């Protein structure tokens, strides 16, 4: 009797211990479960969309490509296909399927490994949101407990909607909307029955059943899904047959997100510090920008076409040199790929309409439009000329294009007195040629000639370097720096005599903005790229408007516009006359042809174009200049861009007068003057004397930059 009692107590204690252990383990599992109430506020990682000024999608930013949509917008065929394939008892069970669990357990036992899960849609949802995909018994128990809680708190429709927006379909697509775009390039509401079946079949194993990589398996899997739908009475036999005959997508449709990559990265760098990485990449923001995607694409095509042509010509030139001088040129040398940058700003608002930072974003993410700092060459000269106008000069003022030399005394560059011709300069500098501590600078022009005294207007039209140095010496480099700063240059500028030749480095975006200030009659419009940002619910987080400030005198700005129009009408930018509308601009070529530029503008748009090699090597032949090489493709782009803008002239401010002057002397024109132009002056500063030039003896004046073949001949401005 005592032994029986002992055994009873022992068994009771064991049972009690086992029950306590199970209760404790169950308590640990329950305590560690996430709070189901968080599902009410659950927001999965969403895709951020970037739009252009017309509302066209430019790009997506995402860690998981996803977009949420209500169940009412998801086709019934897709809902039925998923239910028939993944959980045919979805509307009957209460979170778990005992039959499915038993079936999976038997399969796993028979195969000796975890081969089947037996999870319901609710279990898959709980695992996808709250748990890890590890295959452990404890995780499975927690999954079941979570599923029971989800079923108790949410309706079947809410569970199905959350599941269809959460599940992974492969190739970075989360949720049915992203999947429809990824596989078919369409909205989910437009999916056919066959397409719905294909997507439902992907859920089990997106990598194995992808039609892009495993077309045969994808086709077999789609057939299985359609058969399951037929068994569940979701479709008729003839509907199944028709769906089976639908072609599979063999390659990914063209995805939005590859357009304007340099601009997209430019926007990211601005917004990410403001909103944070998580919000920008996972928050489902809608970013509306200033870019015009149509203009962006055509600009990219034209620039690339012309740079390819340049590369081909450079390769031919190198091959020719190898044949002519086999010992001097390495036969294994391959010419590098020339780079380019192009940007367009709205003159009145500063809105960035086009931004091309290079030729291939995949190869190089460096944005040459906004980040590259290159010498602008002669495109910087307008700031010197503007400073001269502010100091009492006029378009007819004489400037000297005569030999000069400078030496560096350790603190500053100083004019070498008495060196007024090439011989005296050579004699004066000869003793110091080999002295490393004594720097000499002798500015010269492209053609190696000196033109004597010429007008301020003609010196700009012909881009005379020595005249620019003479002018900056009179007005002072610090004043030029101040004017350039006011106009919009932000990069560091060295106040030295060579500043007017563009020796300080700037970006194309800066140059477009700064020269656009003249086009806007002295009002600087800060460049901006984002119009507004909305969150996933449509709440406006920020809204940007043009930031304008009057920084330069409108009359002086218009005088600069007039002289820069002369660059296009009679000077180095003459090729741009093909636009057949008022255009002002300035060409630029740096030392050894390392950089070629053209910045031009109309009353509506300002566009900056640059080309060169990333390693700062020479572009080659001496006759390659901004005027001969960049202006043609700048013009070709703007011919397309400006089709949507009226061919109007620049607005004329008060206190401006126009008089007929001789193009060479700048004096009042006589009937005998063969080249007459309409000179522009501030009232009271017009020339008072008539032309006294003997035009029969006037030598033809050349420019420092060549004009390309096909450029219209110079003609006087309309009088």
Nearest 5°: the CA angle 373, 376, 379 is 145
DSSP 8-state secondary structure symbol assigned to residue 42: -
What is the per-residue DSSP string for 179-233? HHHHHHSS-GGG--HHHHHHHHHHTT-TTTT-TTT-HHHHHHHHHHHHHHHHHTT
Sign of the C-alpha dihedral computed for residues 281, 286, 291 and 292 taken in this order: positive
Half-sphere exposure of 1 (CA within 13 A, CB side): 0
Cα–Cα distance measured from residue 342 to residue 633, given in angstroms and rounded to the nearest whole number: 10
Burial of 596 (0-12, 13-18, 19+ CB in 10 A): buried
Contact 469, 413 (CB under 8 A): no
Distance from chain centroid for Cα 410: 43
Active-site residues, by number, are 86, 378
Strand order in the sheet with 168-170: 65-66, 173-174, 168-170
Contact 119, 150 (CB under 8 A): no
As beta bridge partners, residue 533 has 287, 542
Sign of the C-alpha dihedral computed for residues 640, 646, 649 and 652 taken in this order: negative
Q: Which of 299, 305, 310 is nearest to 596 (CA)?
A: 310
Cα–Cα distance measured from residue 657 to residue 246, given in angstroms and rounded to the nearest whole number: 73
DSSP 8-state secondary structure symbol assigned to residue 65: E
Burial of 505 (0-12, 13-18, 19+ CB in 10 A): middle
Q: Which of 258, 274, 514 is nearest to 386 (CA)?
A: 514
Structure tokens at 302: 């034209």
Q: Which of 589, 559, 585 is nearest to 573 (CA)?
A: 585
Contact 270, 309 (CB under 8 A): no
Give how far Cα 170 sits from Cα of 78, 176, 199, 212, Å.
17, 11, 10, 11
């Amino acid at each position: 009797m005592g032994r029986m009692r002992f055994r009873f107590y022992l068994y009771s204690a064991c049972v009690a211990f086992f029950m306590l252990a199970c209760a404790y383990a169950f308590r640990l599992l329950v305590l560690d479960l996430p709070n189901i109430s968080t599902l009410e506020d659950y927001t999965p990682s969403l895709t951020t969309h970037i739009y252009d000024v017309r509302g066209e999608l430019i790009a997506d930013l995402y860690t998981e490509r996803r977009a949420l949509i209500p169940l009412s917008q998801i086709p019934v065929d897709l809902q039925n296909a998923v239910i028939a394939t993944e959980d045919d008892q979805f509307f009957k069970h209460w979170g778990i399927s005992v039959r499915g669990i038993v079936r999976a357990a038997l399969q796993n036992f028979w195969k000796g490994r975890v081969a089947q899960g037996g999870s319901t849609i609710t279990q898959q949802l709980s695992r996808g949101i709250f748990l890890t995909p590890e295959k452990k018994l404890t995780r499975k128990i927690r999954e079941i407990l979570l599923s029971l809680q989800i079923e108790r708190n949410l309706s079947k429709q809410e569970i199905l909607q959350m599941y269809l927006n959460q599940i992974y379909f492969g190739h970075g697509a989360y949720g049915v909307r992203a999947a429809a775009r990824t596989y078919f390039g369409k909205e989910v509401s437009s999916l056919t029955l066959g397409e719905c079946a294909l997507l439902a079949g992907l859920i089990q194993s997106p990598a194995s059943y992808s039609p892009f990589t495993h077309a045969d398996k994808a086709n077999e899997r789609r057939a299985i899904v359609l058969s399951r739908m037929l068994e569940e009475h979701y479709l008729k036999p003839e509907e199944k047959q028709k769906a089976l005959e639908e072609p599979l997508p063999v390659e990914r449709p063209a995805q939005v997100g590859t357009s304007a990559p340099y601009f997209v990265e430019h926007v990211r760098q601005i917004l990410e510090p403001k909103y944070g990485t998580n919000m920008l990449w996972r928050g489902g923001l809608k970013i509306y920008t200033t870019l015009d995607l149509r203009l962006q694409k055509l600009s990219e095509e034209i620039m690339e076409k012309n740079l390819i042509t340049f590369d081909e010509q450079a390769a031919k030139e190198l091959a020719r040199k190898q044949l002519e001088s086999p010992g001097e040129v390495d036969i294994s040398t391959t010419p590098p790929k020339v780079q380019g940058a192009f940007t367009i700003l709205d003159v009145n608002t500063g809105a960035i309409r086009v931004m091309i930072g290079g030729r291939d974003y995949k190869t190089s993410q460096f944005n040459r439009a906004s980040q590259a700092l290159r010498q602008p060459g002669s495109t910087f000269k307008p700031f010197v000329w503007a400073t001269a106008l502010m100091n009492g000069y006029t378009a007819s003022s004489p400037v000297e294009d005569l030999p000069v030399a400078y030496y560096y005394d350790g603190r500053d560059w100083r004019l070498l007195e008495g060196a007024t011709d090439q011989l005296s300069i050579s004699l004066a500098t000869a003793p110091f040629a080999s002295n490393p501590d004594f720097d000499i600078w002798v500015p010269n022009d492209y053609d190696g000639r000196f033109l004597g005294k010429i007008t301020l207007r003609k010196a700009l039209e012909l881009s005379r370097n020595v005249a620019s140095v003479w002018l900056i010496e009179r007005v002072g480099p610090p004043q030029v720096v101040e004017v350039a700063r006011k106009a919009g240059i932000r990069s560091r500028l060295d106040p030295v005599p060579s500043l007017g030749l563009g020796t300080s480095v700037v970006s194309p975006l800066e140059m477009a903005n700064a020269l656009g200030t003249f086009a806007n009659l002295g009002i600087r419009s800060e460049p901006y790229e984002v119009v507004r940002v909305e969150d996933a619910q449509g709440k406006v987080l920020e809204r940007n408007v043009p930031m304008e400030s009057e920084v330069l005198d409108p009359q002086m700005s218009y005088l600069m516009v007039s002289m820069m129009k002369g660059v296009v009408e009679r000077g180095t930018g003459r090729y741009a006359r093909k636009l057949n509308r008022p255009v002002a601009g300035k060409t630029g070529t740096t030392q050894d042809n390392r950089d070629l530029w053209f910045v031009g503008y109309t009353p509506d748009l300002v566009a900056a174009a640059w080309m060169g090699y990333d390693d700062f090597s020479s572009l080659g032949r001496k006759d390659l200049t901004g005027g001969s090489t960049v202006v043609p493709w700048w013009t070709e782009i703007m011919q397309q861009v400006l089709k949507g803008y009226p061919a109007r002239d620049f607005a004329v401010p008060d206190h401006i007068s126009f008089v007929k002057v001789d193009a060479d002397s700048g004096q009042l024109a006589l009937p005998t003057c063969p080249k007459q132009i309409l000179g522009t002056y501030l009232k009271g500063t017009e020339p008072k004397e008539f032309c006294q030039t003997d035009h029969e003896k006037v030598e033809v004046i050349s420019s420092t930059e060549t004009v390309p073949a096909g450029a219209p001949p110079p003609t006087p401005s309309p009088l």
